[in-house]
Amino acid sequence: MFPSPRDLFPIFHCPLCPPDAVLAAPTTLRCGHTVCAVHVRATHCPIPGCSTQQQSSTHNTIAFFPAPPNTQSHPPDITHRALDVRVNSIIHILHAANTHDCPFPDPFGNSDGDSDADDPPSRHTTPQRHNADPTSPPDPHDFEKTLSTELTCEICFMLLYQPVTTPCQHTFCSKCLQRSLDHSMLCPLCRQEFPGFAYFQEHPHNKVILSLLLEAFPDAYSARGDAMEREVRDARLDTSIFICQLSFPGMPTLLHFFEPRYRLMLRRCLEKPCPTFGMIMPPRAAPIPGHGPNAGSEFGTMLEIRSVQMLADGRSMVETRGTHRFRLLEQDSLDGYLIGRVEKIDDYDDDLAEWAAQDDDRAPSSSNTTHVDIRPSPQISLTRITPRVSPPSSPASTTGTPQHLLSIPTLLEICHTFLDQLRAGTAPWVVQRLNYTYGPQPPDTDPGAFSFWMGMVLPIDEHEKAKLLPVKSARLRLRMVVGWIEQLNSNWWFTSGCTVV
């Protein structure tokens, strides 16, 4: 049975007034407590025991810069003593519904005028007291409906979920307000400027409204939470995709999130126990004939979030590290960003050298930059362990470039020689990239990681480097890298041979 107004009144008792006194001109503070405006004098919550200091974050991966505020840095909401529009309207509704069975002294006096001034137009449905016709009994169903309308978020049009109240005393679902902040620092209802993004970090819920939701609409409220959880859990396309730049497994990448859609994506990622997202490169500006406009961006790298530094205006610097590669099987968009279903790409064991050697003649040749085999293609032979039907005895394989026959140690040797050459002073800027950008050089005992690292440090086109993503053999990737090294060497030879003015 729906609770009667009388059952709900205790929620609206002022914690500082004598017992059973209903809030008069309620103001909700940042800590989520609501008190009569007259109690608010200092810059902190007047309720004894209320810690208005920011509680430490539950996500130890997120740091805020500047540090999250306490009330001292944001006094305007206190000194302003604005009226909590929603709490005030609800008290009116309770009184109106209660008038018949229990005449209640009006604790507001003539405060009605103030409350209406701040009401958004949609909430002028607040019923007037039934004084005109005291004989008609109040309809409990009407009461429930009016109350539920009053508890509707003006952004999502649904029952408030985790309500938070702004300094201008307007209440929204926490998630709705966050999204609105991504786009604008003005209140969606009154356009008053908000104190800053950090104010709303870990913003405590409006305790009075939350209590009312749980008391009056417990089922609808928990259904709302369940639905949000289910949406995440049952999503077939469960991987958020950030279209930004190339990254490889093991590589650190520092990212700057500023677009509203990606701020939302980041927040959603951070709600998960292990925050990760996928990153792919934007498609080439000019598509390659014969390949769709998205050619090359169907492969990417999953990034795990190491730390987040959120700036006061809501932008974030995100430190990530590549964990594994993936192939994008299916994609859609969610609130402006890409989501997808992905398949993990793992290396096969290079010790199975036999068949790998068989594949040599048709393996990707990195020196041929437009070679189709390097491109993501479903029939890429390297992904299969099935023996080949025809032996690789074409004459081309015997006259192919020597690197076809090279073993991992030899390939590594070529890479090291190239690195030494760089370090010797030919191109100090590359050495800087090695030292600062891509983390420590992986050891030779991990040729898989080394191939990515080596590929990443080469000064060549990123889309070319991205061809390493689908290749499942460390040896083949090293061969591609060595191919690029040979190209670079020949280019340098060429440019140093002819002085171009």
Side-chain half-sphere exposure of 166, counting CA atoms within 13 A: 24
322 is a site residue for other proteins (CB under 8 A): no
> Is residue 157 a contact residue for other proteins (CB under 8 A)?
yes
Site map for other proteins, 186-205, x if CB under 8 A? x-xx-x--------------
- Cα gap 229→87, rounded to integer Å: 28
Other CB atoms within 10 A of residue 204 CB:
20
Q: Pick the closer one to other proteins by CB: 186 or 430.
A: 186
- Does 332 participate in binding other proteins (rule CB under 8 A)? yes
Pick 120 or 282: Cβ nearer other proteins: 120
State the minimum distance, in angstroms, from the CB of residue 148 to other proteins. Answer: 13
Beta-carbon contacts of residue 405 (< 8 Å; ≥ 6 apart): 360
Strand 299-311, strand 62-65: pairing: parallel
Residue type, 377: S
Number of residues in contact with other proteins under rule CB under 8 A: 23
| Smallest distance, other proteins to C-beta of residue 76, A | 21
Q: Which is nearer to other proteins, 182 or 202 (CB)?
A: 182
User: Is residue 179 part of the contact set for other proteins (CB under 8 A)?
Assistant: yes
**Element housing 165 (H / E):** strand 163-165
Selected binder of other proteins within 158, 228, 270, 431 (CB under 8 A): 158
Among residues 156, 357, 427, 431, which is the contact residue for other proteins, using CB under 8 A? 156
Alpha helices in 140-278 (DSSP H): 140-150, 174-183, 207-216, 218-233, 260-270
Which is nearer to other proteins, 207 or 341 (by Cβ)?
Answer: 341
DSSP code, position 12: G
Q: Are residues 302 and 322 in contact, defined by beta-carbon separation less than 8 angstroms?
A: yes
Q: Which of 79, 222, 333, 435 binds other proteins (CB under 8 A)?
A: 333
Find the shortest distance in angstroms from Cβ 238 to other proteins. 13
**Can you tell me which residue has the tokens 């709600």?**
271
Closest by CA position to 44, among listed 67, 84, 75, 69: 75
In the complex with other proteins, the residue whose CB is nearer, 79 or 333, is 333
| Vertex 281 angle, CA 429 and 414, to 5° | 45
- Closer CB to other proteins, residue 165 or residue 253? 165
Of the candidate residues 72, 184, 397, 490, the single one contacting other proteins (CB under 8 A)? 184
Stretch binding other proteins (CB under 8 A), from 149-157, 341-349, 352-360, 370-378: 149-157
| Binding to other proteins, residues 27-56 (CB under 8 A) | none
Tally of CA atoms within 13 A in the half-sphere of 37 that contains its CB = 18
Does 127 bind other proteins (CB under 8 A)? Our answer is no
The structure tokens listed for 181 are 């902040």
Candidate segments 48-56, 87-95, 154-162, 487-495, binder of other proteins by CB under 8 A: 154-162
Rule CB under 8 A: choose which of 24, 96, 176, 466 binds other proteins.
176
Element (H, E) at 462: helix 462-465
Q: Which is nearer to other proteins, 113 or 121 (CB)?
A: 121
Which CB atom, from 121 or from 290, has the smaller least distance to other proteins?
121
The rounded Cα 75 to chain-centroid distance in angstroms is 30
Tell the smallest beta-carbon distance from residue 379 to other proteins (Å).
31
Q: Which residues contact 79 (CB under 8 A, 6 or more apart)?
A: 43
Residue 106's Cβ-count burial label (10 Å; 0-12, 13-18, 19+) is middle
Site for other proteins in 260-299 (CB under 8 A): 260-261
Residue with tokens 């840095």: 73
CA 132 to each of CA 89, 100, 129: distance values in angstroms, whole numbers, following the listed order: 20, 11, 8
Cβ–Cβ < 8 Å for 473, 382 = yes
Does 233 participate in binding other proteins (rule CB under 8 A)? no
Which residue number, 28 or 180, has a Cβ lying nearer to other proteins? 180
Rounded CA-CA distance 284/297 in Å is 9
Binding of residue 168 to other proteins (CB under 8 A): no
Is there binding between residue 86 and other proteins (CB under 8 A)?
Answer: no
475 near other proteins (CB under 8 A): no
Q: Which residues bind other proteins (CB under 8 A)?
A: 120, 154-158, 176, 179-180, 182-184, 186, 188-189, 191, 260-261, 332-336
